[in-house]
């Protein structure tokens, strides 16, 4: 993880330098959502694909559009078999899926060719390289197609864990801190105490940023990246008085659970990070942070490390407040997004 953390720090430092020049000493308005999407795309492209990060960016652009089209398609009238009809959305979705897989296969094949021609003894130490190295260590030629599909699926999973959901987490957290200056200053003081004056955290220091962790958890509670969780029962199970038969699909209403007054109290819709400070609320009881299954656990830990490094760096370098141009309008497009962006006023702290 140390190598990945280095990429995160380098990319975030470049962003800080650029934003500092753009807003000047007196500060200026920034649409932080777009900045977070660009930053996390840069980070995940480099950590997942290494030297092929430019193709990785192209891939992520296609995946972002694909996500948007799939969300739009769900708003239209559906009936059995409608997904096979050559509608506008179905044609575009099919085309985007093909392009995503073409790019992934191209990147994977290029990495394999380098290893086979002796240019490299391994497939690399980025995320894709680790997946390919692991696949080679358990190579079964009869399952090559299955292994390739598995790797492509994992690459897509890391996109959503390390890019889309993390960018949204960062955006909503920045908005909440901009609107709650007391907590912003509290987190900033903690970062300086733990990480020193430069505010650049090491991997070992992240667990010591307890106030930042509370804020992240509360941000995820209020604006969970996944509003619904689909799950399928692999065997007959009993939940309270409910009998769920094997093969039944279940939809878990994450957003409703996270805003339930019965579970969280009368202030369930308010920003209160102290609810994660200990009893009576433990994060695991009524809280689904990244709404990830077992196969996503690596991506989830990667995303949390990424979010903490980026937030710690930005909070230590800038003071930020909500812009008068900000319009609070969360919408659900598979994930919870700000419809009109999140405009904040950034002011460098060294001015």
Specify binding-site residues for heme.
297
Q: CB–CB of 230/250 below 8 Å?
A: yes
Who contacts 324 (Cβ-Cβ below 8 Å, separation ≥6)? none
Distances (CA, A) of 178 to 214, 293, 316: 16, 32, 13
Who contacts 18 (Cβ-Cβ below 8 Å, separation ≥6)? none
Residue 312 Cα to chain centre, angstroms:
16
Rounded Cα distance, 351 and 346, in Å: 12
Rounded Cα distance, 109 and 144, in Å: 13
Which residues fall in the annotated binding site?
297
Rounded Cα distance, 286 and 135, in Å: 37
Question: Helix, strand, or coil here: 326?
Answer: coil
Task: Tell me how crowded residue 8 is: count the other CB atoms within 10 A of its CB.
Answer: 28
- 53, two tokens: 């990060």
């Amino acid at each position: 993880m140390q190598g990945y953390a280095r990429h995160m720090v380098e990319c975030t430092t470049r962003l800080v330098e650029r934003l500092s020049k753009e807003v000047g000493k007196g500060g200026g308005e920034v649409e932080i959502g777009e900045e977070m999407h660009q930053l996390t795309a840069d980070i995940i492209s480099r950590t997942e694909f290494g030297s092929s990060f430019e193709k990785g960016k192209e891939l992520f652009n296609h995946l972002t559009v694909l996500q948007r089209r799939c969300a739009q398609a769900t708003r239209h009238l559906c009936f059995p078999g409608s997904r096979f009809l050559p509608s506008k959305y179905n044609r575009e979705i099919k085309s985007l899926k093909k392009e995503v897989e073409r790019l992934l296969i191209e990147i994977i094949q290029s990495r394999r060719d380098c290893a086979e021609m002796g240019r490299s003894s391994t497939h690399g130490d980025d995320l894709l390289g680790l997946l390919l190295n692991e696949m080679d260590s358990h190579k079964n030629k009869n399952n090559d197609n299955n292994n390739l599909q598995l790797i492509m699926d994992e690459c897509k999973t890391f996109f959503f864990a390390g890019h889309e959901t993390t960018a949204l987490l960062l955006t909503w957290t920045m908005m909440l801190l901009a609107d709650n200056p007391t907590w912003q200053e509290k987190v900033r003081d903690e970062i300086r105490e733990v990480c020193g004056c430069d505010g650049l955290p090491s991997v070992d220091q992240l667990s010591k940023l307890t106030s930042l962790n509370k804020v992240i958890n509360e941000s995820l509670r209020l604006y969970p990246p996944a509003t619904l969780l689909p799950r399928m029962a692999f065997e007959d199970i009993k939940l309270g008085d409910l009998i769920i038969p094997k093969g039944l699909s279940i939809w878990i209403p994450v957003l409703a659970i996270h805003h339930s007054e019965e579970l969280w109290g009368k202030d369930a819709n308010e920003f209160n990070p102290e609810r994660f400070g200990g009893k009576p609320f433990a994060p695991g009881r009524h809280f689904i942070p990244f709404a990830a299954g077992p196969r996503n656990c690596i991506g989830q830990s990667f995303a949390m490390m990424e979010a903490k490094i980026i937030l710690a760096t930005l909070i230590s370098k800038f003071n930020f407040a909500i812009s008068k141009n900000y319009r609070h309008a969360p919408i659900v497009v598979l994930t919870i997004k700000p419809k009109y962006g999140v405009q904040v006023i950034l002011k460098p702290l060294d001015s």
